[in-house]
Structures are given as structure tokens and as C-alpha cells.
């Protein structure tokens, strides 16, 4: 569970990408009633409206992928 202290503001592009994905997919299944261009336009307009309305969307920080290897990663020393 993410604590409120760990949350960071989401960028407008991240919000638009998430909205676009939700307009184009139902879970893992592609929904063909929402064209990619239309999804992008709707997502960008929704993000602009949310920003004008003073909303702040927060997200959890990205975490590293789990590593089951016993070898040290060259960038984590």
C-alpha cells in the first residue's frame, strides 16, 4: 500500500497516456470503438480541463523490477 507521503504529482503526459489507454483498452482486450486519434484528443482535453479546475493527480513512484539474479547489477553498486 502506498503511503500519502510517497506520492508525487503526475505529469500531464502521464495522465493523458493513462486516459488514452483506458479509452482504447478494456483490461488487455483492445476496444475498437475508440480510434487512437480520438482517444488522444479526448485524453488531452480531459487533462487540460483537470489542470484548469485545479486538480492535482498523484501517483506512486516507479519501483525497480524484481531481480531474482544473484549477480550484482552493474548500475547498482
In terms of pLDDT, which residue wins out, 56 or 70?
56
Question: What are the C-alpha distances in Å from 66 to residues 6, 14, 69, 73?
Answer: 19, 23, 9, 12
In the predicted structure, residue 60 carries a pLDDT above the cut 60: yes
SS3 25: strand
Domains in the chain: boundaries: 7-53
Residues 3-51 have pLDDT tens digits of: 777 888 889 888 888 888 888 887 778 777 667 788 888 889 999 988 8
Across the range 62-68, mean pLDDT stands at 68
Amino acid at each position: 500500500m502506498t503511503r500519502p507521503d510517497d506520492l508525487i504529482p503526475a505529469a500531464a503526459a502521464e495522465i493523458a497516456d493513462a486516459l488514452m489507454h483506458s479509452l482504447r483498452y478494456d483490461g488487455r482486450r483492445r476496444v475498437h470503438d475508440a480510434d487512437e486519434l480520438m482517444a488522444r484528443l479526448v485524453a488531452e482535453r480531459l487533462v487540460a480541463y483537470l489542470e484548469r479546475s485545479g486538480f492535482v493527480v498523484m501517483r506512486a513512484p516507479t519501483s525497480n523490477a524484481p531481480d531474482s539474479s544473484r549477480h550484482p547489477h552493474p548500475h547498482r553498486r
